[in-house]
Structure 1
Amino acid sequence: MQLTRFTDLGLRIVMRLAVEGPGTQARTDDLATQLCVSYAHSTKVVARLVALGTVESARGRHGGICITPVGLQQRVGELARQLEGGGEVVDCDGANPCPLRQGCRLRAALRTAQESFYMSLDQWTVAEIARPAVHPKIERNS
């Protein structure tokens, strides 16, 4: 399974904001530059994150965006589900419907795999996933 660029960017934005913590404002154009994406794409993602309550935004001279306390505790799988929009892995009924769709079990198997993917991400909160990795100290024998 592959996440859309929209979801990928959404997760990167919340991770970047989580590092700074709630209340610390960041500008969308600065985030776009740091994450090497277009400003237009980042503003669409930020608008969705605001609608989800993961991020707050303030306009004006001292405005910007910041992660909310709810956003920090949000499960990564749930956030990915919300950003992805609930689509299926394959589109069996699209413009050119699959002739095998009536008796096929692949669609159900892929739906189960997709849910397993999200469930595995649900073990992490945004705050946990944004925390720097701790590398064990290597002891050297003298």
Structure 2
Amino acid sequence: MRLLRSTDLALRVLMRLAVACDSTPTTREVAADMDVPYTHAAKVVAELQHLGLLAARRGRGGGLTLTEKGRTASVGAVVRAFEGDGDVVDCEGATPCPLNSACRLRGALRRAQEAFFASLDPLTVAELVTEPTGPLLLGISGRA
């Protein structure tokens, strides 16, 4: 399964903030650390804030912090939130599939997608940054 870029970035932002210790990096700093455009990072940060996974403060002394909900969030739940729960294939699109009424593939792909999400459910954001990942993230940012 291939993740959307926004999903990948969301997970990396959460991981980066999970090792931020006492610092509160800005969206611009996180974008630079992750080597992604600021506009992409800003959209992802806004969605993560909407989900309650991070807090963002503007102005002097502002920055991003991971909330407790963000620290204990299930990776599967984060992936579901960004990927959506739509079908893997679009059988009803502009040119509907002629097999739609008797297709077994759609159901099999749906089960595979759910198994993918379910395999990520037990894993939390905090667990993603245990050794050796956390120290590596600290080294990449240089500001954490």
TM-score in terms of structure 1 length: 0.88
Post-superposition shift, 1:95? 1.6
Question: Could you say which residue in structure 2 is the equivalent of 1:82?
Answer: 81
Say which SS state the counterpart of residue 53 (structure 1) adopts: coil
Give RMSD over aligned pairs: 1.4
Question: Could you say which residue in structure 1 is the equivalent of 2:141?
Answer: none
Q: Which letter maps to 2:12?
A: R
Deviates more, 1:43-52 or 1:81-90: 81-90
Question: Could you say which residue in structure 1 is the equivalent of 2:42?
Answer: 43
CA contact (8 A) 1:29 1:39 kept: yes
Q: Does 1:131 align with 2:99?
A: no
> What are the residue-to-residue correspondences of 1:1-142 with 2, within 5 Å?
1-21=1-21, 24-133=23-132
C-alpha distance in structure 1 between counterparts of 2:87 and 2:129, whole Å: 28
C-alpha distance in structure 2 between counterparts of 1:74 and 1:24, whole Å: 21
**Structure with more contact order per residue of length (Cα contacts < 8 Å, sep ≥ 6):** 2
C-alpha distance in structure 2 between counterparts of 1:84 and 1:124, whole Å: 17
Say which SS state the counterpart of residue 85 (structure 2) adopts: coil
Say which SS state the counterpart of residue 62 (structure 1) adopts: coil
List runs of 5+ in structure 1 lacking aligned partners: 135-142
Post-superposition shift, 1:65? 0.9
Post-superposition shift, 1:24? 3.6
Query: Which has the larger Rg?
Result: 1
Q: From the two aligned structures, give the one with the greater helix fraction.
A: 2
Deviates more, 1:94-103 or 1:33-42: 94-103
CA contact (8 A) 1:54 1:71 kept: yes
Aligned length: 133
CA contact (8 A) 1:19 1:131 kept: no
C-alpha distance in structure 2 between counterparts of 1:104 and 1:87, whole Å: 17
TM-score in terms of structure 2 length: 0.87
